[in-house]
Amino acid sequence: MNPMSQAILAGGCFWCTEAAFEQLKGVGAVESGYIGGEAPTANYEAVCTGRTGHAEAIRITYDPALLSYDRLLDVFFDAHDPTTLNRQGADVGTQYRSAIFTSDPAEIAAAKARMKELNASGKFPSPIVTTLEPLTEFYPAEDYHQGFAGENPNHPYIQGVSMPKVCKIREKHADLIR
């Protein structure tokens, strides 16, 4: 068995990003949680206020022999709008920011290069505002948030917001879908 790697990404509501990444070959697990704030405020009620410093994020455990970090970044930038500051659709606040959390110099360089390339390509109508933030403690979200889209496929938010993103990833990255 190959050694697994982890990536922590924030791209709006973790229900959406979790569902987008769970379907990828090479992904062993996706866990919703909070990062960027302090432990006492790492809970849904506090984070929703937008005053804790946390972002809703996902911790992806993946096999880099099957799924490279660069391909994870490709999916990340396609799974949300990296050009809107502290917002994804109707979800507004710093907890919904677009961010990549890492302390690995190679990952930082890869993320900077990908953002530069995407900005130069004109793929997005506005510049990317995704932040590169230091890897701090990741606090798993409450149990009811884990696998939420899969457990609640008929939930209106899942139908209206998460599933279109899941389908977009299936279409754009068909070679990565299990």
**Res 39: pLDDT:** 85
d(CA 71, CA 77): 10
**Res 1: pLDDT:** 57
**Res 117: pLDDT:** 97
Look at residue 57 and tell me whether its pLDDT is greater than 70.
yes
The residue count for the chain: 178
Residue 87 near residue 119 (C-beta atoms within 8 A):
no
d(CA 129, CA 147): 27
Q: Which CATH architecture has domain 5-176?
A: 2-Layer Sandwich (3.30)
Among all residues, which ones are annotated catalytic?
13
Look at residue 63 and tell me whether its pLDDT is greater than 70.
yes
Higher pLDDT, residue 45 or 1: 45
Q: Domain residues of the chain, as ranges?
A: 5-176
Name the pTM for this structure.
0.96
Judging by DSSP bridges, how do beta strands 98-101 and 131-133 pair with one another? parallel
